């Protein structure tokens, strides 16, 4: 297998990029959890052993399905060792986005990073950096800051750990034979994108990958809001985490690409913010040639748009669409109609609970063959009655209300649809 090939979100899955949670999820002291795990305000701990067990079962299932699992840490180490330009690129970018400012702190951090082995450099970037690791201890007799109690606490983070990096779908998105290096909403998650930038710039397997969007963009876009409908059509959700201006930039880059982007039409849909569901893929996913699983909240009320090339180079045209989401999806796929499996049936309380548990956020392994959350019993029963084959997954610690089975891997290669 070489490079990237994503022409839809339902072609038989052959290769993914994953990250097994590690020490970066445990690098916090007592009382620091809320500071480090800012996206889990209702929790006070993270069970890494349980999360690793869940992740191992997930990747074992993928491998049993014939999917090649590439691990982020391995690819990053290989990219750093492949060319001498990779290491200074990573260090410069990491320092610029670390949150630490000024010559003294950045100089000390740079010295530590530049002197580290490849293995240690990767761990420092993932695990975060504390003042005690970076700054030499200075006694009160030789430092006014120490004498007055104003010296940095040795345990204080100069760069926080990347403890959500096992959600590999959001920082980068594969489209056709290229990628979007997304600009994440949260600055710490934006640092995750730096690692993918190194991989897709310097790794021998991926160094020729076209980049359709740069994470240095002024506007935010996240992978959960981007669905590959077909070889020539992309669907993007307008959400809290993805701005319309980012979609404008993406459209110009794809429609007027010099690197032969296959995309000729971008569709956009406004999505609501409901509980912990923030991205399009928690409301809608394609699961078969002519079928989608859909949250009823967006079926009839969402505003829809089509973006195509304008007349002049670099210009785009935006068209408001009528007719509803199913009509738009059928238009994008060049089909007379599509089936939308509506997660609205059955017990209403259970329905809302399962929707909050990302019942729609399934991972399609092949047309009609889906990885789902096993605890979403009502939705899974509905999918099975609709003719879908299910491989249920339990990942309570990994996802904890944020994301579904599809957020735990970045598809890199799918077979083209016949």
CB 39 within 8 A of CB 401: no
- For residue 354, pLDDT over 70 is answered with yes
Separation of alpha carbons 143 and 340, rounded Å: 67
Strand partners, 18: 71
Q: Which of 340, 364, 371, 407 is catalytic?
A: 407
Q: Give residue for tokens 């959700």.
A: 237
Check residue 401 and give its pLDDT. Answer: 54
Cα 190 to chain centroid distance, Å, stands at 10
The residue that leads in pLDDT, 266 or 101, is 266
Find, among 379, 417, 387, 369, the residue nearest to 64 by Cα: 369
Highest mean pLDDT among 119-123, 148-152, 343-347: 119-123
Structure-block tokens of residue 379: 């939705």
- For residue 400, pLDDT over 80 is answered with no
Q: What is the dihedral of CA 349, 351, 357, 358, to 10 degrees?
A: -160
Check residue 358 and give its pLDDT. Answer: 84
**13-18 sheet: strands from edge to edge:** 68-71, 13-18, 410-414
Find, among 405, 406, 407, the residue nearest to 373 by Cα: 405
Question: Does 407 participate in catalysis according to the annotation?
Answer: yes
How large is the average pLDDT for residues 401-406? 78
**369-373 sheet: strands from edge to edge:** 363-366, 369-373, 389-393
Check residue 41 and give its pLDDT. Answer: 67
Separation of alpha carbons 409 and 31, rounded Å: 31
Check residue 1 and give its pLDDT. Answer: 45
Taking the whole predicted model, whether its pTM rises above 0.95 is answered as no
- For residue 140, pLDDT over 70 is answered with no
- For residue 39, pLDDT over 70 is answered with no
Separation of alpha carbons 191 and 164, rounded Å: 11
- For residue 2, pLDDT over 70 is answered with no
Model confidence at 344, in pLDDT bands (50, 70, 90)? low
- For residue 206, pLDDT over 50 is answered with yes
CB 94 within 8 A of CB 123: no
Least confident range from 265-279, 315-329, 358-372: namely: 265-279
160-191 pLDDT, tens digit per residue, is 999 999 999 999 999 999 999 999 998 889 99
Cα 177 to chain centroid distance, Å, stands at 17
Strand partners, 270: 238
């Amino acid at each position: 297998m070489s490079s990237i090939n994503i022409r839809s979100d339902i072609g038989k899955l052959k290769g993914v990029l994953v990250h097994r949670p590690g020490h970066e999820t445990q690098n916090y002291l007592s009382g620091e959890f809320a500071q480090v795990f800012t996206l889990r305000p209702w929790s006070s701990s993270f069970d890494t052993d349980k999360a690793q067990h869940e992740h191992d079962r997930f990747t074992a299932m993928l491998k049993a399905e014939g999917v090649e699992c590439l691990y982020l840490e391995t690819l990053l180490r290989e990219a750093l060792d492949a060319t001498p330009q990779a290491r200074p690129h990573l260090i410069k970018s990491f320092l610029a986005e670390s949150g630490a400012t000024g010559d003294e702190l950045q100089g000390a951090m740079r010295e530590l990073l530049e002197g580290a082995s490849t293995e240690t450099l990767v761990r420092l970037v993932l695990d975060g950096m504390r003042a005690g690791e970076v700054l030499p201890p200075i006694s009160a007799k030789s430092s006014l800051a120490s004498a007055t109690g104003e010296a940095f606490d040795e345990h204080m983070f100069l760069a926080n750990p990347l403890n959500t990096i096992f959600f590999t779908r959001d920082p980068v998105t594969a489209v056709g034979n290229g990628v979007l290096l997304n600009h994440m909403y949260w600055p710490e998650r934006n640092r995750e994108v730096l690692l993918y930038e190194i991989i897709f710039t310097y790794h021998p397997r991926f160094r020729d990958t076209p980049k359709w969007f740069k994470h240095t963009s002024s506007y935010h876009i996240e992978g959960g809001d981007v669905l590959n409908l077909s070889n020539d059509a992309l669907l993007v959700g307008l959400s809290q985490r993805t701005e319309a201006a980012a979609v404008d930039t993406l459209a110009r880059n794809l429609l007027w690409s010099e690197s032969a982007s296959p995309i000729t039409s971008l569709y956009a849909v406004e999505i609501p913010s409901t509980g912990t569901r923030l991205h399009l893929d928690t409301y809608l996913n394609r699961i078969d040639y002519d079928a989608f699983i859909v949250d009823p909240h967006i079926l009839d009320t969402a505003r829809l748009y089509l973006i195509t090339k304008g007349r002049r180079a670099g210009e785009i045209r935006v068209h408001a669409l009528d007719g509803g989401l199913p009509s738009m999806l059928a238009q994008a796929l060049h089909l007379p109609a599509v089936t939308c499996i509506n997660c609205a049936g059955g017990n209403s309380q259970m329905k809302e609970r399962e929707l909050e548990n990302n019942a729609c956020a399934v991972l399609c392994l092949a047309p009609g063959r889906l990885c789902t959350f096993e605890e979403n019993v009502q939705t899974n029963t509905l999918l099975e009655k609709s003719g879908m084959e299910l491989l249920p997954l339990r990942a309570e610690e990994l996802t904890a209300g944020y994301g579904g089975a599809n957020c735990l891997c970045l598809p890199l290669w799918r077979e083209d649809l016949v």
